[in-house]
Amino acid sequence: MVAPAGNGPAPTVADCNRLFVDVPSGTINASLKAGDRICLLTGQNRVATLTVTLTEPHRGQFEKNRVKVTGTVWVDPAHTVDAGN
């Protein structure tokens, strides 16, 4: 599951859980820029965030831009999400 988290303060696990309810499709199409954040639900049902640190144009046939990110994955079992939500 993927949900945009904007470019404000880093989202918490609770913030991401709320976004998963608001954007249940699991995919987003977005123009990302440095500072944008994305909430993810991993294959192990752990909540994670990615923060875009750099975007750069790419002239390859299949890529529009390259994106560099930093990430956080919460590994505490109390911070996992029931995939059935």
pLDDT in tens, 13-38: 888 888 887 776 667 777 788 898 98
Q: What DSSP string describes 14-78?
A: HHHHHHHHHSTTS-------TT-EEEEE-TTSBEEEEEEEEEEE--SSS-SEEEEEEEEE--SGG
Domain assignment of residue 46, given as a range: 2-77
Residue 73 lies in a domain: yes
Q: Tell how strand 2-6 and strand 47-57 pair up.
A: unpaired
Residue 84 lies in a domain: no
pLDDT at 71: 92
> Which residues lie across from 66 on neighbouring strands?
56
Domain count, the chain: 1
What does the pLDDT look like over 31-62, one tens digit per residue?
Answer: 788 898 988 888 888 889 999 999 887 776 56
Residue 82 lies in a domain: no
Rounded Cα distance between 1 and 9, Å, is 21
